[in-house]
Amino acid sequence: MSFRDIHSKEELLQAVTKNTNLSVLLLHASWNNHDKITKAQPQIVNSLRATIREHEGLSIHGFAMKVDINDDSMDFFIGDTTMDDDVVMDDANTTQINIKCIDELPALYVLNYSNEGMIQISNVPINARQILSWSESEDAVTEAMEKAISSLAIIPSSIQQNTRNFEESKRMHPQQQIRLFIAGDRSQVGKSSVCLGILGTLLQMNYPPSALAYIKPATQCEQTQLVTEYCKKHGIQVCPEPGPVVYYRGFTRAFLNGETESSDVLLKKITEEVDKIARDKTVVVIDGVGYPAVGSITHTDNACVAQASGYPNNNDDKVRIPPGVLIVGKRGVGDAVDSYNLNSTYFRSRNIPVLGAIFNRLPHEGYYSLENCKQAVTSYFVQNKDTSGGEKVFGFIPEVEGIASSRTEKNDGDANSSSLELAMEDAEMFIVAFGKFVDVGSILQRATHLRDIARRNDEGPVGHQYKRARITKHKDALKLNGTMSRSQLTRDQIEQSAKASGAAGG
């Protein structure tokens, strides 16, 4: 089957909406090798057919679109998008599709048009060279096709089982692992609750517990987290509390005096612990601490911790590929967006890629209700998507009774057991709300996209709109104390001294 040439996004929309099955779109340009493009087209369709095992009644459609614009104005992009951005149902129930274009062509995408009248787009994570030499990259291409299909939240029922099987199998491929770093625009904004919501939603999306992991690498609080208890109950891999770095009373002054482990030792502990729990996992959720700059006095702030928690890099063992950061924001509009921009800029200045935001604990009614804030804040992100590097808003979470505190008491006995049981019930209620109001599938898609872009950038030039996702070496965190001789004290010695001096915290 050959590809049908499409000359506009309107024509593509009309072609895709005529079927309720999968389509593939090959996006290319006049400077691409025309002969190789033509030769690859039937192989692309055959790979898609092989991926879905040609279920009875499932039709495959192939489309090719030529894009001719210069590299400096790549504003025509497809993929790495949410349903709200790409597919719009207007008052007349007319579906519209908004397509953009990446800076490396040719590129390949899988599209699905559901019976509910919605279209979803997923990038096939392969590079242009693999598309042009399709037959030479058959195994990698088939795997990439499976991955693209499995990331679709809305797929034909006839291929659901195959994609579930793929979710199992892809855990064995470390290059496909997704690491998410959850940060907040302030302390107590609900980072751990968002981690809970993501993990619970992934279970509902048929990710097996053995494919998931959770860790809070640095903390100011040593109370048990509800998300930790939830992970234990459901068999999700979790790092024992507290994590490898604890900002206990007196820690920062002791660090400045050279009485604690150095920054690079602390960050190495984080790297080792994250890699340990991430082994053979599909998604690893990494919980930040406080607001982004917390820990900067010891060079273990959230940006440093995110870098240390990044993906291993085959080209350099000492360089990590940073995970995408999801920022949890507050209620409101102006203050919420201003705080988001302040904190996302902090990460971007350290070359840590930012996925976007989730805004938490919005009231159901009033001027600052969820619906009112959602409309205004979403409008801001849409208006500024071309200058924000593609950062998105993935959801707005309402106040959920019982989940205000994501911590549980450490007391023993029947009373604590009963409290924990009630907390688990609250957690399940929160996860239901979270899955309704947050697009977890799109979070994974963007995290995957930025991860793949960062890996490709390690092998060649950085695309202009992805400079924020560069791989950066973690600089020696001991510039402040680089020449200091560190005579390490025990935690108990440091805390006792701090307590005697009247210290309240780290």
What is the C-alpha separation between 266 and 494, in angstroms, rounded? 17
Bridge partners, residue 119, by sequence: 113
- Segments of the chain assigned to CATH 3.40.30.10: 4-172
- The DSSP secondary-structure symbol of 349 reads H
Cα atoms in the Cβ-side hemisphere of radius 13 Å centred on 105: 27
Write down the architecture of domain 179-469 according to CATH: 3-Layer(aba) Sandwich (3.40)
Packing angle of the helix pair 370-383, 334-349 (nearest 10 deg): 40
Ranges in the chain annotated CATH 3.40.50.300: 179-469
Q: Is 369 in a helix, a strand, or coil?
A: coil
Q: What pTM does this model have?
A: 0.63
Digit-by-digit pLDDT tens for the chain (506 residues) are 457 888 777 777 777 776 556 788 888 877 777 777 887 787 787 777 666 654 445 567 788 888 765 444 444 444 333 333 444 333 334 445 555 555 577 888 888 765 555 667 777 878 887 888 776 766 777 777 777 776 664 444 333 444 444 444 444 456 789 999 999 998 888 999 999 999 999 998 889 999 999 999 999 877 888 999 999 999 999 998 788 999 988 999 999 999 999 999 999 999 999 999 999 999 999 999 999 999 999 999 999 999 999 999 877 767 899 999 999 998 899 999 999 999 999 999 999 999 999 999 999 888 889 999 999 999 999 998 877 788 999 999 998 876 655 454 444 444 466 777 888 888 998 999 999 899 999 999 899 989 988 887 754 333 333 333 444 444 443 344 444 556 678 888 888 887 887 776 66
Compute the distance between CA of residue 178 and CA of residue 197 in angstroms, rounded to an integer.
Answer: 16
Q: Which is the CATH superfamily of the domain at 4-172?
A: Glutaredoxin (3.40.30.10)
**In terms of Cα–Cα distance, which of 246, 286, 296 is closest to 266?**
246
| Residues paired with 16 in a beta bridge | none
